[in-house]
Amino acid sequence: MGRRRGIMSQRFKEELAKELGFYDVVQREGWGAIRAKDAGNMVKLAIEKAERQLAENMK
C-alpha cells in the first residue's frame, strides 16, 4: 500500500511551521528533517484551528 497523500495544503503546512518556529528547517532540509515532536505539534495546532473554525461556522 502506498503512502496517503497529505490532507493539509502545502501553504497551510508552511503557515503552521512558521507559527511554531521551525520553518527555517523545512526551507533548508525539507519536511523529512523536522523532529517528530514538531510534526506532532503541527498536527495538534491544525486540529485546534479546524475545531475553532467549525465552532465559528456553527454560530
Helices (H), 1-59: 10-20, 23-29, 36-58
Euclidean distance between CA atoms 19 and 22, whole angstroms: 8
Q: What is the reported pTM?
A: 0.82
- Answer yes or no: is 3 within a domain: no
The pLDDT value given to residue 55: 92
- Domain annotation covers residue 41: yes
Mean pLDDT by 10 residues, the chain (59 residues): 72 96 97 97 96 91
What's the pLDDT tens digit per position in 8-18? Answer: 899 999 999 99
Gap between the terminal Cα atoms of the chain: 41
Residue 27 lies in a domain: yes
Q: CA–CA separation, 25 vs 34, rounded Å?
A: 7
The answer to whether residue 21 is domain-embedded is yes
Q: Does residue 2 form part of some domain?
A: no
Question: Which structural domain, as residue segments, surrounds residue 26?
Answer: 10-58
Number of domains in the chain: 1
How far is the C-alpha of 30 from the C-alpha of 51, rounded, in Å? 28
Assess if residue 48 is contained within a domain: yes
